[in-house]
Amino acid sequence: MENSKRLILQTIRRVKNQNMNSKSLTFEDMPFSRLVKESEDLAEVRREYASSSDNERRHAADFRYNASIASQMFNKAIGQADDENTPWPGAVTALAIDPKYAPALLTVGSFEYLYGRIDEAMAHFLALTTLPEATEDIVEIVDQAGDFLIDNQDYENAVILYSAASGEHPNIPQYRNGLSYCFGKSGRLEEAIEQARYTVNLKPDNHIYLTDLGWTLVEAECFDEAQTVLKRAVAMSPPDYELARENLAELHRRMKGSVDR
C-alpha cells in the first residue's frame, strides 16, 4: 500500500505541475463522475467499451491500468520524466473502460480523497464492497481501501466501509476484523469486541484474530476473558509471532496494577 500511495502522490505532483500550463479538463479540478462525462476522450472510451462483454472490459482496463503503472515505474527507474500530455493517471482511463474494475476503483478513490473530495472517494470505495466475492483480489483491495482510510485516521469512514463490506459479505473475516479495529480506535469497545468475536467464530484457529480479540478485551478491561483468549493465542502462534506473548505480558502488568490500586 505504501508503494501505491507513493505513486499516487508522485502523480498528483506531476499533474499539478502540468496543470499550471494547461487549460484542459483535469482530474485535479474535476471528480471522475464529471470528468468521464465532460472529457471527450474519456466519454469516447466509455462509449467504445459500452457494448463489450464484462470480460473484454476487464481485460482492457487491466491492460491500461498496469501499462500506466509500469510506464511510471520504468520512467522513475531511468530518471526520465513522466508523460506530461495526460491530465489524469491511467487508473482514470481504466475506470472509464470498466466502472467495476477494482484496482482502478481503489486508486481513483484514493486520488479523490487526497484531492479533498471525500464523498467521491467513498463512492468509489463503497462500490468495491458490492463486487462479487469471486472478483480477483477483492478482499485484499477492500482491505487496502480500509488501510488507506485508517492511515489518514479517518476511522468514521473506515467504519462505514467495513460495515458495508461485512453487510454484503458477512462471512469474510478480514472485513469483520477491520471493522473491529476501527470500532476500537473510535472508542466503541463493545462493538469492537462483538466484531472481534464474530471474526474468531469464522476462523477459530487463527492466532492473529485471537490476538486481536484478546487485546480488544484488554482495552475494555475484561481481564479474565482476555487472559483466556491470549493464552490460547500464544499456544497457537508460531515461534516468530511475538504479539500474542507481548499482549499477554502487558495484560499481566495491567492486572497487577489493578490489584495494587
User: To 10 degrees, the CA torsion angle through 96, 6, 172, 193?
Assistant: -130
pLDDT band (50, 70, 90) for residue 258: confident
Alpha helices by DSSP H, listed for the chain, are 2-19, 32-38, 40-50, 54-77, 90-97, 102-114, 118-129, 138-151, 155-168, 173-185, 189-202, 207-219, 223-236, 243-260
Mean pLDDT of 119-136: 97
Amino acid identity of 62?
A: D
Indicate if the pLDDT at residue 187 is higher than 70.
Answer: yes
**Residue 87 has what pLDDT?**
58
C-alpha cell read off for 12: 498528483
Segment 91-103 shows an average pLDDT of: 96
Torsion over CA of 182, 112, 31 and 122, rounded to 10 degrees?
-10
Sign for the pseudo-dihedral over CA of 65, 66, 69, 71: negative
- Identify which of 210, 162, 152 has the alpha carbon closest to the alpha carbon of residue 183: 162
User: Dihedrals φ, ψ of 189, to 5°?
Assistant: -70, -35
Residue 71, C-beta contacts closer than 8 angstroms, at least 6 positions apart = 82, 83, 90
pLDDT at 18 exceeding the cut of 70: no
In the chain, the percentage of residues whose pLDDT exceeds 90 is 78
Question: Domain map of the chain by residue range?
Answer: 1-122
Whole-angstrom distance, CA of residue 191 vs CA of residue 230: 19
- pLDDT over threshold 80, residue 259: no
**Whole-model pTM?**
0.85
Q: Which of 116, 185, 115 is nearest to 147 (CA)?
A: 185
In the three-class reduction of DSSP (H, G, I as helix; E, B as strand; rest coil), residue 147 is classed as: helix
Q: Is 61:98 a contact under the CB 8 Å cutoff?
A: yes
